[in-house]
Amino acid sequence: MKVLIVGSGGREHAIAWSVAKSDKVDKIYCAPGNAGIGEYAECVPIGAMEFDKLVSFAKEKEIDLTIVGMDDPLVGGIVDAFEAEGLRVFGPRANAAIIEGSKAFSKDLMKKYKIPTAAYENFDSKEEALAYLETCKMPIVLKADGLALGKGVLICNTIEEAREGVKTIMEEKKFGDAGNRMVIEEFMTGREVSVLAFCDGKTIKCMTSAQDHKRAKDGDQGLNTGGMGTFSPSPFYTKEVEEFCEKYIYQPTIDAMAAEGRPFTGVLFTGLMITEDGPKVLEYNARFGDPEAQVVLPRMKNDIIEVVEACVDGRLDEIDLQFEDNAAVCVVLASDGYPVSYEKGFLISGLENFKDREGYYCFHAGSKRTEEGIVTNGGRVLGVTAKGADLKDARKKAYEATEWISFDNKYMRHDIGKAIDEA
């Protein structure tokens, strides 16, 4: 069969790698792709938001299945566009992708269906938000309602910071139209855990757990990013926590979406906070996480195409989802200055060191092939991933592998998975 993957980041590279392992697949295309994805797929110069061109391409090439990796096209309705033309596509329709596209929607959904989450209020005006802040205990969390590349969340420790944060989001529009509306919610403490799950609208099958590191600098300092590294599984996601989440969070979320006339098919990403009062939902995403996919997919035993097709066909209950009894750690190699400003176009050397090395992976996030070779082409450049017998072993191997790669202005955090040592 022929498969089209939509996206260009490390997540899409991990998906392409996973799809390439399937005996069911003869040909992979990726739009627009990147230099690393080109190892497994034919990259085509069509943007992820160019729905008409993507639909035409899928028809012309007789694509059997399209997998959408990115949030923007999902929220924008790419699945609806493909389905309208009778094309098989994996991902939630726009009316279900809103669970990520609007934080206000997802918070209201959780409140209505009694899914555990932080106390909150939604605001359409700066004045109302500022007035509400005067009644809040600090610290407080401010969230731009819409999509903001994983960066639209501000944690404010003082009322002054919170007031500035409201202005940043709603007046200065730092996150663009995502800040036309905002959510103010209580600050929760505990361990963060990410759980990705396959869904077919009624059945949900959870993947192994992971934990992301959002802040740019060591010690969880600096600005929020799209993710500087991750590890899987999380030692804090115990069997007890898992059973609670299955009963009170995951299945109730899928049931709630169905009850609202928004059946969710695709990958549901649940960001959790394991608090003293039990697990609570931080946020939902409507697709594979990035870089969570880079540690979860290498540990999955199943043929990804069999699982995806079961989701599309509404028979996910037939799938026995299995993961290896090991661990994986991903360290993101970024361009120094990310996520604010950075230079790109620097030659990357050492990529050949990953070829034919069992348990080591180098997923491209921001790279481009030129006549001189592969160069940096983004803030997050590569995701260096390694599997190990346990988390400490995987972490040691991942950091050793980061030394195999060189490029000017290479930057990374040095404490990815440090929480492992405290578990």
Question: What is the chain's pLDDT, residue by residue, as a tens digit (423 residues)?
Answer: 999 999 999 999 999 999 999 999 999 999 999 999 999 999 999 999 999 999 999 999 999 999 999 999 999 999 999 999 999 999 999 999 999 999 999 999 999 999 999 999 999 999 999 999 999 999 999 999 988 876 788 999 999 999 999 999 999 999 999 899 999 999 999 999 999 999 999 999 999 999 999 999 999 999 889 899 999 999 999 999 999 999 999 999 999 999 999 999 999 999 999 999 999 999 999 999 999 999 999 999 999 999 999 999 999 999 999 999 999 999 999 999 999 999 999 999 999 999 989 999 999 999 999 999 999 999 999 999 999 999 999 999 999 999 999 999 999 999 999 876 655
**pLDDT at residue 421, rounded to an integer:** 63
DSSP code of 250? Answer: I
Cis peptide before 291 (omega within 30 of 0): yes
Distance in angstroms between the alpha carbons of the first and the last residue of the chain: 44
Residue 161: how many other CB atoms lie within 10 Å? 17
DSSP of 277-306: TEEEEEEEESS--TTHHHHHGGGB-S-HHH
Q: What is the pLDDT of residue 142?
A: 95
DSSP 420: G
Show the tokens assigned to 189: 């403490």
Question: Is 96 in contact with 257 (CB distance < 8 Å)?
Answer: yes
pLDDT number for residue 192:
93
In this prediction, residue 423 carries a pLDDT of: 52
Domains of the chain: 2-95 (3.40.50.20), 125-180 (3.30.1490.20), 191-318 (3.30.470.20), 327-422 (3.90.600.10)
- Looking at residue 335, its pLDDT comes to 98
- For 186, 230, 363, 385, 395, the CA distances from 420, given in Å and listed in that order, are 27, 11, 23, 16, 9
Q: What are 15's two structure tokens? A: 């998906």
Element (H, E) at 192: strand 191-200
Nearest-Å Rg of the Cα atoms of the chain is 21
Exposed, middle or buried: residue 206 (CB in 10 Å: 0-12, 13-18, 19+)?
middle
- Tokens 């590569």 belong to 382
Query: Which pair of structure tokens corresponds to residue 289?
Result: 């996480």
pLDDT of residue 152: 85
- The structure tokens 């990804």 sit at 304
Residue 16: C-alpha distances to residues 48, 281, 325 (Å): 16, 29, 23
